[in-house]
Structure 1
């Protein structure tokens, strides 16, 4: 199994009030499979498993209509807090403060100076 390099796009996510449609469309298009992720209680989240992959590459979050549908990419970083501070210095806006799940992943959503949404995350050390 290969580990993505720091500062590279290493995850994507769809948030949708119609997650079954999202999973069906991309599953048919790319032959993706989905595994229920239970690391964040109260959140319905399915990890995306591309064909032949040993680890998930992204996820589908059931928004339950609580926010608009979206697609976003995440960059793997060594330090979420330091990256958020640097992004703010460069003019980014924090859309969602950092969150950590029970598996030890930390992530945050940001908006760049051109209005694009993106996220950064760090993984637990093995």
Structure 2
């Protein structure tokens, strides 16, 4: 199965101080299942797997009161650092500089020129 196309929305994330309620709500509404992801130390994260899907398409980040609740989309890109640099040149602000987790996934969060939050990510080299 081929992966997502570059520059397409390929992941979402819900950050919540009430992760169990979020998982229960969306699990009941859409039939989503949740898998614990331990690739980033110190982060409580559950990948979202939709019914019939082979791979996760999103996640729930347990904020533990450390940040406000949010929902965000992520765009799959070839090079996170280069995309962040291009976004800044277009007026974006970096909210979270690029981070690479234990599985080799690299991601960053930005605010576009109108104040909307979004993320970019790339997969580890194969």
Q: What TM-score do you get using the length of structure 1 for normalisation?
A: 0.98
Gapped regions of structure 1 (runs ≥ 5): none
Separation (CA, whole Å) in 2 of partners of 1:57 and 1:34? 11
Separation (CA, whole Å) in 2 of partners of 1:79 and 1:98? 10
Residues 28-69 of structure 1 show CA distances to partners (whole Å, capped at 9, x for unaligned) of 111000000010111100000000111100000000000000
Gapped regions of structure 2 (runs ≥ 5): none
RMSD (Å), alpha carbons = 0.6
Aligned length: 126
Matched residue SS, 1:75: strand
Partner of 1:45: 45
Matched residue SS, 2:21: helix
Matched residue SS, 2:39: coil
Separation (CA, whole Å) in 2 of partners of 1:43 and 1:86? 28
Q: How does 1:21-100 map to 2 (within 5 A)?
A: 21-100=21-100
Matched residue SS, 1:48: strand
Q: What TM-score do you get using the length of structure 2 for normalisation?
A: 0.98
Separation (CA, whole Å) in 1 of partners of 2:124 and 2:98? 15
